[in-house]
Amino acid sequence: PARLAMLTFCFAVLFLHAGAQNPLIRNQYSADPTARVFGDRVYIYPSHDILATEGKGRVGWFCMEDYHVFSSANLTDWTDHGVIVTQNKVPWVRPDSYSMWAPDCIERNGKYYFYFPTTPNDTVAYGRGFRIGVAVADKPTGPFVPQPEPIKEVRGIDPNVFIDNDGQAYLYWSAGNIYGAKLKSNMLELDSEVKTLGELPTKGLKEGPYLFERNGIYYLTYPHVENKTERLEYATSDHPLGPFKFAGVIMDESASGCWTNHHSFIQFRNQWYLFYHDKDYSPRFDKARSIRADSLFFNADGTIKKVIPTLR
């Protein structure tokens, strides 16, 4: 199956390449894109799907051992800056984890903080399940130096960090529900209790929160599965920790049947964009994904217009 998937990848690259904008990254699988604008470039911090083989990850499941960062000045030509964090260089990560799941990266006072969820090597010290680590760099492309321990009091996946206009930073993550807390200005420790965030779905809320602010409205956006696959939804509030109230659907379930969708938003040169993923290069296996972007538009009342996914 690994050889078949690789062959499909090569054919799909050849087929989709001609003139297509999506998927954005064509030299490898990529998923869970967090896009950020740093200076005059857009940086994407995705997960890096690879194909598990006997002895390397769990065959038929997600398999990731490192993270790359990509950047572009025009959202069309992407530079791969190479590996920025890898599981075997993080002191607290299981060497056979292959679970370097959806990350985020944010800038504060000239430092870049890269947040990533993965499984630890010491269940006595860190418990079972996912923890969230941070690696710090002076540039968006690294080199990133991992902290020796995961963030205390945080168990779960899919970290997302938001810095409000008053300078207060917040961390969001998923663990069956979506949680949030204030971060200290060192960006490495919580500075409040962990909170649930309001009237969110009670079922099918597994992962991928992303928070942003526009015109005083805080948008908490998340994948939600009600039927077959995840669709992107959002809730709004007048405070970064809520309470949030359901406000609508941003993107329907994937037509291809990719079970996950994971997303982020940026405003770049006066246009908003949604970054998300599907399985363009791996039609038969939805754990080998590829990232995409499409324009995003708001109604006058601040609600989000639904995004129709495009391949061009």
Q: Which of 207, 230, 233, 286 is catalytic?
A: 207
DSSP reduced 3-state for 49: coil
Q: Is 32 a catalytic residue?
A: yes
Please name the residue that has the structure tokens 């299981």: 94
Q: In what order do the strands lie in the sheet with 111-118?
A: 104-108, 111-118, 131-137, 145-146
Distance of CA 287 to the CA centre of its chain: 14
Verify binding: residue 260, ligand FUB, rule CB under 6 A.
yes
Q: Strands 271-278 and 290-296: what pairing?
A: antiparallel
Give 175: exposed, middle or buried? Use CB within 10 Å, 0-12, 13-18, 19+: middle
Binding characters for ligand FUB, 41-70, by CB under 6 A (x = yes) = ------x--------------x--------
DSSP reduced 3-state for 301: coil
C-beta of 14: minimal distance to ligand FUB in Å? 26
Which residues ranging from 155 to 174 are in contact with ligand FUB (CB under 6 A)?
157-158
DSSP reduced 3-state for 122: coil
Alpha carbon of 303 to those of 163, 164, 269: distances in Å?
A: 22, 20, 21
Number of chain positions touching ligand FUB (CB under 6 A)? 12
C-beta of 162: minimal distance to ligand FUB in Å? 17
Binding characters for ligand FUB, 19-38, by CB under 6 A (x = yes) = ------------xx------
Nearer to ligand FUB, 31 or 251 (CB): 31
Specify whether the backbone of 204 is left (phi greater than 0), alpha (psi in -120 to 50) or beta: left
Binding characters for ligand FUB, 104-143, by CB under 6 A (x = yes) = ----------------------------------------
Interacting residue with ligand FUB among 231, 262, 263, 279 (CB under 6 A): 262
Verify binding: residue 222, ligand FUB, rule CB under 6 A.
no
Catalytic residue ranges: 32, 207
The site for ligand FUB (CB under 6 A) is made up of 31-32, 47, 62, 101-102, 157-158, 207-208, 260, 262
